Chain A
Amino acid sequence: MRRFAYYPGCIAEFSSKELDATTKHLAPMLDIELLPMPAATCCGAGDIAEAKPNLYLTLNVRILSQAEEMGVDILTICNVCTLNLRRANKMVKEDARLLESVNEELVKVGARPYEGTIDVTHLLWYISTEEGLALLEKQGPKGLNGLRVAPYYGCQLLRPSSVMGFEDPDKPQSLERLITALGGEVADYEAKSSCCGFPIILAREQVALKESHNALSQSRDAGADVMVTPCPLCHLAMDAYQRKAEAANATEYNMPVLHLPQLIGLALGIDNKIMDFKRHLVPMDRVLEAVGA
């Protein structure tokens, strides 16, 4: 059993609760114990970094230190959280003076200083390795019945590769490996690692909807039955905002979108009630029918 400090991120805890619930249900099946982090803040989502860079760094190091105190690495289920935590981790691990000054601030407010010993990983990275896929195999997956799945990575789990570093950002294969291992077919398309537009969707909606159009239209044209993403922000852009993107781009996609653990859940036969597809805006009916769930 591998123990992780579980950092679901704000979206999975609030508007995309189905992602958190599915992950928690799935974890023991994948030999993972998820330890809660009740004092962890939001990672700032790039927004706090854009407003107050030093504060962003201090807050994220505070989160890293909490996991260090628990003696475990952090597991995330969100691209943006992964980038923000890893970036802060890299910054202080590579610069002892910077770590010292951040720790000074932490100690001043009674928080634990960080020693720079932990790592941050994403569920996709954990499960798409040979060992991870073997864990899935052990569960005897009932499979996806040839479902055509469009992998959608988004940006921040891949780039910048100097911070993320799990796979080649221009030729990612982790989702493909997973889809194939689960008995699905990969619907490949170019825009799988282009931006969903979510970071600016509230402030610049029309620009953002042009961005999500690329992946939505291309995955549709590649004959995908469903799209899967490792990021709840991408999920909101692709699912919750899909009707808006259709209106903005004068087209139809009708593309259901799965969170990563839901794809695994479908293949392992997790109860649909737990995965709570009713919380998605684009209906999942045809997908459930195709896999016989």
Chain B
Amino acid sequence: MAKTTFDIFRYQPDVSDAQYRQSYDLEHEGDFTILDAILRLQDEQDGTLAVRYSCRSAICGSCACKANGKTVLACMSQVEDVKKEFGTETVQVDPIGNFAPLKDLIVDMDPFWAKFKSVKPYLIPDGPAPEKERIVSKEDMQKLFRESACILCAACYSECNSLAADPDFVGPAAFAWGYRFAGDVRDGQRKQRAKLYTGEHGVWDCTRCMYCNERCPKGVNPRDAIEKLGGIAFQEGRSMKDAGARHAKAFLISMRTGGKLNETVLVPFTDPVKAHFDIPFALQMIRHGKAPSPIPHRIKKLKEVQKLMKNVKETI
């Protein structure tokens, strides 16, 4: 028999505005998940404890929360594993991050669903429907294998560093779904999707903190999907349409001309207007020896690289 203290985030706005943690002790044995614990507490100790859940099998994506600060699915996390991982006898349970709490562990998911809808997360085929189903090869479907596994639990949003700094960032799960359809051979909106996903708060706003890949309980790797959407944007002629795209383009130019990053190209190419008005900062950088050299570096065997740039075909 194990004994665990659960420090659970409480917020009951119909009673008071206070947000605090409440401690509960439970004895348990055998397999016992965080969701099991919350449901038993609800049942035996405190009927006011609010949690959102449904399937208890890591399918529905309802019960994401933070256990000792780390976002998990409550139904998928064994209490003993969490204690062992953090070396504690106490498990702190909090609502997922980057969302406003509504009641205890339940957060307001409306902004998440609005962003999800904004990427048009459904197939939009071109032309009239065929008589029979649209056949997709195994190879083509495998390209979408990871993204298709997303259960919209928002674990990726919970610790997304871009989202924390910019609440309007469309975010990892929505973009995983975006790629799920932009990359589908049956979809007819690749060009339109490339435009839709790459504006302000879009694909180029991802700061690559990699929390989404780290936290996703289903191995979706949303950051990789964001990367692939960048690739699709380049294929669809959007490489000059946004400062983020031009930033990536500057790397390609540097690669072709010298094989190394050419900072003389990167800064003005990314944002010519800002570079022009940011003279005081530029002067400061120059004063501290951080001015890029006007002569670009040139690696040995650059021809190999230039040929690769010509030859290698993208297959997103």
Contacts and interface: CB of A to CB of B under 8 A. Distances in A.
B308 A62 contact: yes
B205 A200 contact: yes
Given A14-B261, A15-B263, A111 B304 contact: yes
B214 A54 contact: no
A49 B248 CA distance: 9
Contacts of A170: 69-70
A52 B297 contact: no
A109 B247 contact: no
B276 to A, nearest CB: 13
B199 interface: no
Interface string B296-316: 010111011101110111111
B252 interface: yes
Interface stretch (B52-60, B125-133, B184-192, B227-235): B227-235
A41 B300 contact: no
B208 A160 contact: no
Given A39-B300, A40-B299, A155-B209, A45 B227 contact: no
A93 interface: no
Interface stretch (A120-128, A134-142, A203-211, A262-270): A203-211
Q: Is the interface of B mostly helix, strand, loop or mixed?
A: helix
Contact of A38 (B209, B246, B300): B300
A262 B21 CA distance: 42
A200 B243 CA distance: 9
B205 A59 contact: no
A10 B299 CA distance: 11
Contacts, number: 205
Contacts of B208: 46, 155-156, 195, 199
Contacts of A39: 259, 299-301, 304
A10 B260 contact: yes
Given A15-B263, A202-B270, A279-B288, A50 B211 contact: no
Contact of B266 (A44, A202, A281): A202
Given A53-B227, A62-B304, A156-B210, A45 B315 contact: no
B312 A194 contact: no
25 contacts: A10-B260, A10-B263, A13-B297, A14-B263, A15-B290, A38-B300, A58-B308, A83-B210, A110-B304, A111-B308, A156-B208, A160-B223, A195-B161, A195-B208, A200-B162, A200-B204, A202-B266, A203-B204, A203-B247, A207-B205, A207-B207, A210-B165, A240-B290, A278-B288, A281-B285
Given A55-B308, A108-B311, A159-B210, 4 more contacts: A42-B251, A42-B260, A59-B308, A278-B288
Interface of A: 10-11, 13-17, 38-42, 44-55, 58-59, 62, 83, 105-106, 108-111, 155-156, 158-162, 169-171, 194-195, 197, 199-200, 202-205, 207-208, 210-211, 240, 243-244, 276, 278-281
